[in-house]
Amino acid sequence: MKSLNISTIFLALAVIICISCYSVECYKIGVGRADITGPPVEVTFMGYANLKQKGKGLHLRQFARSFVVEDPSGNRVAYVSADCGMVGYGVKREVIKRLKDRYQDIYSIDNVVISGTHTHSTPGGFLMDLLYDLSILGFVPQTYEALCQGIYLSIKRATDNLQEGKIFLSKTTVLNANINRSPSSYLMNPEAERARYEFDVDKDITQLKFVNLENELIGVFHWFAVHPTSMNNTNHLVSSDNVGYASMLLEKHYNPNKLPGKGKFVGAFASTNLGDVSPNIRGPKCQKSGNNCDVLTSRCPHEEGECVASGPGKDMFESTQTIAIRLYEAGVGLLQEESGREVTGDVSFIHQTVNMTNYSASVYNPLSRKMDKIRGCLPAMGYSFAAGTTDGPGVFLFEQGETTSNPMWNALRDFIAPPTQADIDCQHPKPILLATGRAAFPYEWQPKVVPTQVLKIGDLILAGIPGEPTTMSGRRLRNAIKKSALESGGGEFDVILAGLSNLYSSYIATFEEYQAQRYEAASTLYGPHTLSIYINQYKMLTAAMMTGKSVEKGPEPPYLNDKVLSLVPGVVFDGHPIGKDFGAIKFDAKRSYTINDVVTVTFIAGNPRNNIFHEKTYLVVERKINERWKIVLTDADWDTKMHWERTSTLLGFSDIRIEWTIAPNILPGEYRIRHFGNYKYILGGIFPYEGVSRTFNVTNNAKL
């Protein structure tokens, strides 16, 4: 009797295992999320390269969102979308090191893609290459550590949650969430090529849905081409911007009753060929006059102000929210339609680093209609790059007539060597502003060696691109990869480009766009053939992967961790006024509020950099229910904002002002706001403190 039972159980188990995952249609899948928020104050944001855009608080937390897929023969890949400006090779190398310490050789540089969403409102200082950390005043160890540990943790969570499941791919279009910000450059591309596309930006959104064998939705990842620059360069609150908020909305929907950043379901909106794509869909206007800017130069007559794009909202917060809601609704729409096709087939991957500066190949030249010998150039930035874009004009290293405003720039500018005639010829028609490839002091200014990488998940290809391809560059790259896969016998594939992955090397414009030398072209580092080199390289990688050939690893990008300069000072100490301890109330809440009011409470505070509270919060809004306090909102919620201000540098005093905008769905009742922080004692040591507002009422009586 007993032995029969056991064998029956075994038989049943064997049958379950068999039917559950006997074919390649079934993968092991896992998703994970972790907090990667950087120091929210005193560090310059990465993106607009505006030294003045330093963090002064927090609106939305940054998260890394990962998925891991393994096929039945044990081939595994991992993909991460991180709410940060981009990803540096130093960050990737460190994440892989931590993964190897934990999982030995399951993960390597070759099978993990890490992609930045490209939000322009998060702290910088993690890229190491000198030019990219320049506007931040150098390397910021705290930003770097926050990214490395959080990204590692998100992959660890995905790994520890691996389960059998399936993957579905679907697509839809979102018409009102992006525009081309260099339409005149786009028009340089051949007419016949443009005629194949309806719009001058990609309007489609690609979705990968992960479900387990109980048909439970465990995660969903989207790719949509748009710059997360709805928050403009006047913003000082850390924010994951439009795509970050879209991810949060999705996670709120599928993790009901969970606080932001919590809950099992993981939803992401990740970057792709967003190089020339803006979310500011009202388009560029002269700020003072409201007139249209000059199309070719994006300039305005002096008296009409700067040329800036904005919209669709009344201010940048509303614009961020509106774009986010449009993306989120498209994602949920696809999920509710249960549309899409199942992704099937084995998993594989390929990776090679390339020295762009001595790459040579023969490619078709569309202008001369002949085969050309092409080569990559030493990195250099053109003049227009200093002019910025209509998403954030005129601010990379310096503003007009303000070349001495950055102390780091002052100290270093003389170490950029002038370009040689060969550099000038190679980069033609780009007029060289900075011959960054010539500068070696004190270390590399912009990368020469870049990682190229292709992941294959069944009949889907995900290519990790170390820069920002423009719309047409992205289309050409995708088509080339698709063609290469087909021609090497792999069959029909969907191709997704993971933008800003693994390393940052600025933009990738097409050869034709390069001739117009707008911002994106001026920031295409390796000369007019940069895109052609990438197309050649990704075709080669795809073909090699399809036919099971291995490729050489390529040269190792330099290790800069022990060289990087940093001029960002640490927290010296925190002090508080006599009689008002840390956490004491400076300005309290009122006694009563109603829907749409803003509750404001100001606390005597320490410097938020003393503890960046990963997976925790600087503040909570609490509601009293049956004499107990329940957390309703945290610092990651859209409706709360934390502002920090040093009120005396000499005495180390600072304030934290918390704002809560009461949303219409807030229930009437008694509420309070608490603040958590750490202060640095003048004689050493970091200590926690907390503060609490008075209890106040929220009523739903409309104001009379």
Ligand X SMILES: *[C@@H]1O[C@H](CO)[C@@H](O)[C@H](O)[C@H]1NC(C)=O
Stretch that binds ligand X, among 365-373, 381-389, 653-661, 692-700 (CB under 6 A): 692-700
- Binders of ligand X in range 632-671 (CB under 6 A): 670
Residue 681 CB, shortest distance to ligand X, in Å, is 35
Decide: is 290 part of the binding site for ligand X (CB under 6 A): no
Q: Which is nearer to ligand X, 594 or 695 (CB)?
A: 695
362 binds ligand X (CB under 6 A): no
Under rule CB under 6 A, residue 358 binds ligand X = yes
Q: Nearest 10 degrees: CA dihedral of 106, 220, 120, 256?
A: -120
Q: Of the two residues 339 and 695, which places its CB atom closer to ligand X in the complex?
A: 695
Q: How far is the CB of 668 from ligand X (least distance, A)?
A: 9
Of 222 and 448, the one with the shorter C-beta distance to ligand X is 448
Question: What does the DSSP assignment read for 153-204?
Answer: HHHHHHHHT-EEEEEEEEEEE-TTS-EES-HHHHTTS-HHHHTT-SSSS--E
If the CB atoms of residues 263 and 305 are measured against ligand X, the closer one turns out to be 305
Shortest distance, CB of residue 430 to ligand X, whole angstroms? 19
Helices (DSSP H) in 338-465: which residue ranges? 384-387, 407-412, 421-427
Any residues with CB less than 8 A from the CB of 320 and at least 6 apart, and which? Answer: 230, 231, 239, 241, 242, 245, 313
Lookup: tokens for 435: 């011959």
Distance spanning both ends of the chain, measured CA to CA:
79
Which of 420, 561, 697, 700: binder of ligand X (CB under 6 A)? Answer: 697
Q: Shortest distance, CB of residue 629 to ligand X, whole angstroms?
A: 14
Least separation in angstroms between residue 544's CB and ligand X is: 17
d(CA 519, CA 387): 7
Q: Which amino acid is at 166?
A: K
- Give the Cα separation of 240 and 84 in Å (integer): 7
Task: Please give the residues from 560 up to 599 whose contact with ligand X meets the rule CB under 6 A.
Answer: 591-592
**86: helix, strand or coil:** coil
Burial of 120 (0-12, 13-18, 19+ CB in 10 A): buried
Helices (H), 341-453: 384-387, 407-412, 421-427
Which is catalytic among the residues 154, 278, 484, 505?
278
The residue range among 227-235, 245-253, 260-268, 537-545 that interacts with ligand X, by the rule CB under 6 A, is 227-235
Q: Does 327 help bind ligand X (rule: CB under 6 A)?
A: no
CB 205 to ligand X: min, Å: 26
Q: Is 400 in the site for ligand X (CB under 6 A)?
A: no
Torsion of CA 426, 553, 502, 514, to 10 degrees: 20
Is residue 360 at the binding interface for ligand X, with CB under 6 A as the rule? yes
The two three-digit tokens of residue 367, written as one number: 């202008």
Nearer Cβ to ligand X (118/576): 118
Binding test (CB under 6 A) with ligand X, winner from 87, 99, 179, 308: 308
Select the span of 65-73, 213-221, 232-240, 484-492 touching ligand X (CB under 6 A): 232-240
Which residue's entry shows tokens 């070696």?
A: 440
Quote the longest CA-to-CA distance of the chain.
94
Kindly give, in sequence order, each residue whose CB lies less than 8 Å from that of residue 537, ignoring residues fewer than 6 positions away. Answer: 352, 354, 359, 452
Per DSSP, the residues of 531-556 read HHHHHHHHHHHHHHHHTT------PP
Task: Verify whether residue 405 is a known catalytic residue.
Answer: no
**Selected binder of ligand X within 316, 324, 439, 503 (CB under 6 A):** 316
Rounded to a whole number of angstroms, the minimum distance from the CB of residue 357 to ligand X is 4
- CB-based closest residue to ligand X: 315
User: Is residue 695 a contact point for ligand X (CB under 6 A)?
Assistant: yes
Q: Do β-strands 381-382 and 432-434 pair in parallel, antiparallel, or remain unpaired?
A: antiparallel
Among positions 190, 429, 491, 555, the unique one binding ligand X when judged by CB under 6 A = 555
Task: Restricting to residues 88-147, name those near ligand X by CB under 6 A.
Answer: none
Using CB under 6 A, pick the residue from 173, 176, 234, 405 that binds ligand X: 234
Output 133 or 306, the one with its CB closest to ligand X: 306
What is the contact surface with ligand X in residues (CB under 6 A)? 232-234, 308, 315-316, 355, 357-358, 360, 448-449, 555, 591-592, 670, 695-697
Active site residues: 278
